[in-house]
Amino acid sequence: MRTAWRSHFNLTRLQPAGKKEQHAITLVAGVITVDNANRTQKIKRAELMNTHYSMCLLTQGNGSEAVFLTSEVNLQPHQRFAPKISDEVLLASGFPSLSPDTGFPLSPTLQLNAECTTLSDTSLEAIAHAEYQRNCATSFRSYTVEPDRRLCVLASDPDHLDRFVETYGGLLDLEPVLLSGVHPDFDRAVELSISKQGKDFSIDYAVKQPINFKKCTYCGSCGIRCSEQCIDEQLSIDFTRCNLCRECEEVCSSDALDVHSVEERVLTIPAIMVLDGTTVDLSEYGQGVYQEKDINDFLQTQFTCQVDEVISTHQPICQYSGRLDKGCSQCIELCRYDAISRESGGIVIDAYKCEECGGCVAACPTGSLQYERFSDVNFIDFFFNLPTVETSTIVIGEEAELHKFWWQNKGTRFDRTLFLEYPKVSALSLFHLLFLSSRNFSRIILLSNDMGYEYLSSSTIISQANALLEAVGAGSQPVSVSNLQELSSTLETISELKREHTPFSFTPGNRRGNLSAVAEYLIRGADQPVILPDSAPTPFAEVTCKEQGCTHCFACINICKIGAFKTDEQEVSLIHQPSLCTGCNGCVTICPENVLSLFPVTELSQDYFNDKEHATADPMLCTKCGKKFGTRQGYERVMQILGNKESFDTSHFEYCDTCRVTKLFEVA
């Protein structure tokens, strides 16, 4: 993804339960001081928050533990804090867009919950610590990219090319190439071949180079001798007039002329401009090729920008095989910015093109694509770090929308509600929504921005979540999207828990494993199998196997990186875990015997989450030592294939790898 504050504090320390001592804490010249002699009355958080701009702070106290404070601030928006206090504050509530470069993280989550909910001070302190841990755990690569001003200009008219170079030559690094005509300053390409090498174009062309300037003495004999007068004073030869009589070569005493001499050139460049009147078809390349009328589009790319690599790829669990070009491709199908590509090593994200829409992350069934501003692991840890808070509704929104809501509702408090700032709500996956339900949130509200969340609706994530949650008794539409105008009235209606349970806790793994664990937990209490409606495409699938045809080659295990296929310790049984299956169809397409079939699952029972043995084979034992190697079915299939080969000795195939070597030496 490519893309100052000054205040005076009046601070109140929130005392842990059981402690009565109250200190006056003030900011003098940017330094926090504690006056034990001055005792003040306890300021109620609600009163404090309604007078001035207020904030909560997590500070590094005198001891090893962080201290949680509330603060009344005379804020100067868009200004940064005094540097002396910056060293003391670990995290503060606030809005980064309003107060950038504070030197410590600002938490919209903490600000909203402090001023717009009835959460206790203990819960707020827990949120502050969870936010601090979240910020500490967040990291991604960020760097500055300078514009590449190189541009190859293809033209057929020398005068037209000359005018273009005159206009833009001081702004861009131009590589002009003439396809016809003659100009003393530009190469005239005799042959032209263009290909794409990664992000750059490789332009191969030949240029007539009749004069060797290292040998030329500029005697002028060639110009006088030329009957067509096609050699000018700049030693440029107009081949449109030259009749190739070669008299210039004969008269050249320094042997500097060869009218048939050609120099091969290769130009590697990121962009090509085709001037008007030039016929060359480059439509197959798309991005990076511009027509003259599109010059402004190219100029708009010429700026220095910061690139944040916030979408990361984890190839070990990606269900796309670059080597075989098979498997899952949901992210590529969703990306409309051409920021995701297939390569031999797997899926690749172009951070420069990425617009951080979040659609690919939400759709990724395994979690191979992660949104590093708030990864799956950090999301789980955030809620594991919170005690069971007195809430049943969670509102998730981006900073800009939460800031607007806070501005419009400052001082209004909503019961049993938790606000969470999530940098890109459209990056939330089905796992996130089901996980929140397992944490006893009976109502999950996604705060929409002005553009809406097209990827949430297009990838049917909300529909899938509601279908499953409604089926397990979570009420009607427990997951919903709301805008700023509707949110206040929605929150005034208190949500009662439809199915209260102990918040689910588990050992996090990859996203598919997490989804399987949460889904199993949610349906555990169901009296009968959960039937998912046909109105929402199911995210669950299962693979069946024709046992008689399986040769136990285990190609399915090798392509299934998420672990939906496995074998037993003796490697004689093919085992399938349906709940881990993403439905990528990779195993079906790779199976050499065509014995696997994939079908969607709309009925979930406890049995769906259990291992299923698909095929069992007889072990193949070494004829000499009795060691097990492979399976009898696999051996017979190999013999069947090799049996059609003439003069092919297969006798040593009955031996293990160790005895086979010995056998081959004995025969030799």
In this structure, the strands spanning 369-371 and 289-291 are unpaired
pLDDT band at 13; cut points 50, 70, 90: very low
When mean pLDDT is compared over 63-77, 424-438, 443-457, 652-666, the highest value belongs to 424-438
pLDDT band at 430; cut points 50, 70, 90: very high
pLDDT band at 640; cut points 50, 70, 90: confident
Average the pLDDT over 440-444 and give the result. 92
pLDDT score, position 446: 95
List, for residues 31-84, the tens digit of each pLDDT value: 333 333 333 333 344 454 455 667 899 988 777 788 898 877 666 666 665 545
pLDDT band at 17; cut points 50, 70, 90: very low
List, for residues 450-476, the tens digit of each pLDDT value: 655 555 545 579 989 998 998 888 888
Mean of pLDDT over the chain: 84
Per domain, the residue ranges of the chain are 9-104, 150-299, 305-371, 376-531, 541-616, 619-667
User: Quick one: residue 473, left, alpha or beta (phi over 0 = left, psi -120 to 50 = alpha)?
Assistant: left
Is residue 447 scored above 90 in pLDDT? yes
For 311, phi then psi, to 5°, come to: -105, 110
pLDDT above 70 covers what percent of the chain?
85
Name residues whose C-beta falls within 8 Å of residue 75's C-beta, 6 or more positions apart in sequence: 5, 7, 52, 53, 99
pLDDT score, position 77: 67
Domain 541-616: state its class: alpha beta
pTM above 0.85, yes or no: no
Out of 230-244, 245-259, 442-456, 517-531, least confident range:
442-456
Residues 125-147 as b or e (16 or more Cβ within 10 Å = b): bbbbbbbbbbbeeeebeeeeeee
Out of 242-256, 393-407, 457-471, 633-647, least confident range:
633-647
pLDDT band at 504; cut points 50, 70, 90: confident
pLDDT score, position 524: 84
Average the pLDDT over 527-541 and give the result. 84
Identify whether the C-beta of residue 97 lies closer than 8 Å to the C-beta of residue 21: no
List, for residues 273-325, the tens digit of each pLDDT value: 999 999 888 988 888 999 999 999 999 889 899 999 999 999 999 999 999 99
Identify whether the C-beta of residue 101 lies closer than 8 Å to the C-beta of residue 4: yes
Average the pLDDT over 436-449 and give the result. 91
Same fold, 376-531 and 541-616: no
pLDDT band at 498; cut points 50, 70, 90: low
Residue 579 CA to residue 514 CA, distance in Å, equals 10
pLDDT score, position 373: 97
List, for residues 369-400, the tens digit of each pLDDT value: 999 999 999 999 999 988 766 788 999 999 99
Average the pLDDT over 536-541 and give the result. 87
pLDDT score, position 42: 33
Residue 145 CA to residue 1 CA, distance in Å, equals 12
Strands annotated E in 378-501: 393-397, 417-421, 443-447, 479-482
Domain 305-371: state its class: alpha beta
Average the pLDDT over 213-217 and give the result. 86
Burial of 39 by CB count in 10 Å (0-12 exposed, 13-18 middle, 19+ buried)? exposed
266 sits in which H/E element: strand 262-269
The CATH number of 376-531 is 3.40.50
Identify whether the C-beta of residue 321 lies closer than 8 Å to the C-beta of residue 586: yes
Q: How many CA atoms lie within 13 A of 309 on its CB side?
A: 13
pLDDT score, position 497: 55
Average the pLDDT over 177-181 and give the result. 89
Alpha helices in 210-316 (DSSP H): 221-225, 247-251, 295-299
pLDDT score, position 83: 42
